[in-house]
Amino acid sequence: MNPDTRPFVHMVFFWLHEPDNQEHRATFEASIKRFLTDSAYAGAWHVGTPAGSDRPVVDSSYSYCLMVTFVSREMHDQYQTEPPHLRFISECSKLWERVQVYDSVARE
């Protein structure tokens, strides 16, 4: 199977400048949910916060995690440049100090 046509998972971790600022958190949550709901390309999605797992292998230092599934890499690539995604970045990039992305494709 061509890697470009395999299911694609996009995971994004955000570290906010002020993780305890409730106004910033509310702004981030409203904007990310609006963008995902308005996206023409995102499949299933999940927005969450650290689960508080107490294990040495777990990194809970981030503020938010986003996981989005796509039917293909092409859909992911379209999502990157669509207006709802760009609006979210414009509205919220000032709130975060770090973003880490992990992308994966399904095995054959």
Q: Does 76 fall in a domain?
A: yes
Looking at residue 24, what is its pLDDT? Answer: 99
pLDDT in tens, 10-32: 999 999 999 999 999 999 999 99
Distance CA(76)–CA(48), nearest Å, equals 20
Looking at residue 17, what is its pLDDT? Answer: 98
pTM here is 0.93
Could you give the number of structural domains in the chain?
A: 1
Looking at residue 1, what is its pLDDT? Answer: 57
> Contact 45/65 with Cβ under 8 angstroms?
no
Q: Does 26 fall in a domain?
A: yes
Q: Does 7 fall in a domain?
A: no
Q: Does 9 fall in a domain?
A: no
Q: What's the pLDDT band for 5 if we cut at 50, 70, 90?
A: confident
Q: Does 56 fall in a domain?
A: no
Q: Does 80 fall in a domain?
A: yes
**What is the domain-level CATH number for residue 77?**
3.30.70.100
> Contact 69/50 with Cβ under 8 angstroms?
no
Q: Does 83 fall in a domain?
A: yes
